[in-house]
A and B are shown apart, each in its own frame.
Chain A
Amino acid sequence: MKLLEDLKYAESHEWVRVEGNKAYIGITDYAQDKLGDVVYVEMPEVGTIVEAGDQFVVLESVKAASDVYAPISGTVVEVNDELEDNPALINESAFDAWIVAIDMSLPTEVDSLLSAEEYERIYE
């Protein structure tokens, strides 16, 4: 399974890419493989305030709906509109298909996320 070294990971299988105070969030390659073909993404509205651990996105595969949890706290400032018409991007390239960007309220939370190596141990 693919992993990127420069990303941070949550135990609940989300990845985080930090750009300044913004965090782009998606799900890992491992998670998309477990999920199967994603056919619908239910996004939060821009402006939604989330706390780390909140369920804030729902991914629907053909078979079932799965929750995605906010790995860090903050305000949703962007959602990836491309996924609305082409949710399969998550399966094709999980690490490019960011779902939501959050303006972090507690940037130090990033430090408690997992490195690629630590995350890999979880599902091995």
Chain B
Amino acid sequence: MKKTPLYEKHVRLNGKIIDFGGWYLPVEYSGIIPEHEAVRTKAGIFDVSHMGEITVKGEDSEKYLQMVLTNDISLLNNNQIAYTTMCYPNGGVVDDLLVYKYSSVDYLLVVNASNTEKDFTWLKENLFGNTEVLNVSENYAQVALQGPLAQIILQKVTEKDLNEIEFYYFSDNVKIGSIEALVSRTGYTGEDGFEIYFDSTKAEEMWDMLLETGKDSGLMPAGLGSRDTLRFEASLPLYGHELDEDITPLEAGLGFCVKLGKDNFIGKEALVNQKAEGLKRKLVGFEMIDRGIPRSNYEVYAEGRKIGYVTTGSFSPTLKKNIGLALIDSSYAKEGTEIEIIIRNKNLKAEIIKKPFYSKKYKK
């Protein structure tokens, strides 16, 4: 089991520590609902130091990333970020990740913690030209400061004008207090906010400084539980749920980061064919009509037969409704269609609704 450099802080804050893909991390401190609400209305801070960081450097970096990723990296400006999937030849997903572009010869990939080793191996196996990939995850601590007051809080401890950092852009060498950091306007909550990367030896200093600075604004430490409900309401996918090696990004509704028009990339043929044939499955949002809470892997039925399964389901703290995401037969994907979720051997009624369940308030 691994610990992030903030483990002791979580314990001292009475965080409920769980095993999250091999990492000791807090699922909640004061409770999932209050932490969720703090992020929606004020601000929350998450330790996301478990995320993996991989650098890609060298003359052929852009050409290489164009081959292994589905999005069009050539369109990125320096200091811009892209969300993308990385696919197998059959179109299944290796991982979803963020690409930070310093320059066309220097990139940082931020990947899911539990996939870091797998991704790194895959990236090495497919390496070509003058390109070097390095797993630098150990060097980085990362915190996510999220919520409508995130900027006001962070601005108090930096001279960098945060208005200069646009949505999905980053700034390097930003001084937060006395700590040098990379700051990006990104997140996984559906709110405005920042992800802050810095030397892992400074983790406790950064954590304390931000918590202290945000105290008067209602900033709360937030755990993995609310991170999950927040991303779920915003319908942001989670690898292992909405995405995996058997689900393509098209089925998951991530066509926006699959650029079928670009030159060859791994998975292109399979994805082009899937699109041409029409999607047999689609990721949909649904709301329970009957009482009950849907959970991952519950079966979905319609007209007496199984049409798919729930990828994520929960009580929504913002909407106060029981909602879910499900991967189902496309012919039932239309809004308003009635489906059934099998909860403890009972067929409970639900209805297809629009996603995202919660619309983003991102600063552009």
Contact = CB atoms under 8 A, between A and B. Distances in A.
Nearest to A34: B16
Interface in A49-78: 58, 60-65
A37 B83 CA distance: 33
Nearest to B31: A37
B225 A63 contact: yes
Contacts, number: 38
Contacts of B356: none
B314 interface: yes
Residue among A39, A40, A65 having the largest count of chain B Cβ atoms under 10 Å: A39
A40 B322 contact: yes
Nearest to B295: A65
A120 interface: no
Contacts of B322: 40
A37 B37 CA distance: 13
Given A36-B225, A40-B315, A40-B322, A60 B293 contact: yes
Interface string A86-112: 000000000000000000000000000
A40 B292 contact: yes
Contacts of A40: 291-293, 315, 322
Interface residues of B, number: 18
Given A39-B315, A40-B315, A58-B344, A63 B293 contact: no
Nearest to B18: A63
Give chain B's interface secondary structure class. Answer: mixed
Interface residues of A, dominant DSSP: strand
Contacts of B28: 36
Nearest to B317: A62
B149 to A, nearest CB: 23
A37 B27 contact: no
B32 A64 contact: no
B33 interface: yes
B171 interface: no
A98 to B, nearest CB: 20
Nearest to A60: B293
B229 interface: yes
B256 to A, nearest CB: 29
A65 B310 CA distance: 15
A62 B229 contact: yes
A93 B291 CA distance: 24
A62 B292 CA distance: 12
Nearest to A38: B315
Among B291, B314, B315, max chain A CB count under 10 A is at: B315
Contact of A62 (B291, B315, B344): B315
Contacts of A37: 31-33
Interface in B155-179: none
A60 B315 contact: yes
Given A62-B314, A63-B225, A36 B31 contact: yes
Nearest to B225: A63
Contacts of A62: 32-33, 225, 229, 314-315, 317
The residue in A42, A62, A64, A65 that gathers the most chain B C-beta atoms within 10 A of its C-beta is: A62
A74 to B, nearest CB: 22
13 contacts: A36-B16, A37-B31, A37-B33, A40-B293, A42-B291, A42-B292, A42-B344, A62-B32, A62-B225, A62-B314, A62-B315, A63-B27, A63-B32
- Interchain residue pairs A-B with the least CB separation, the first 4: A39-B315, A62-B32, A60-B293, A37-B33
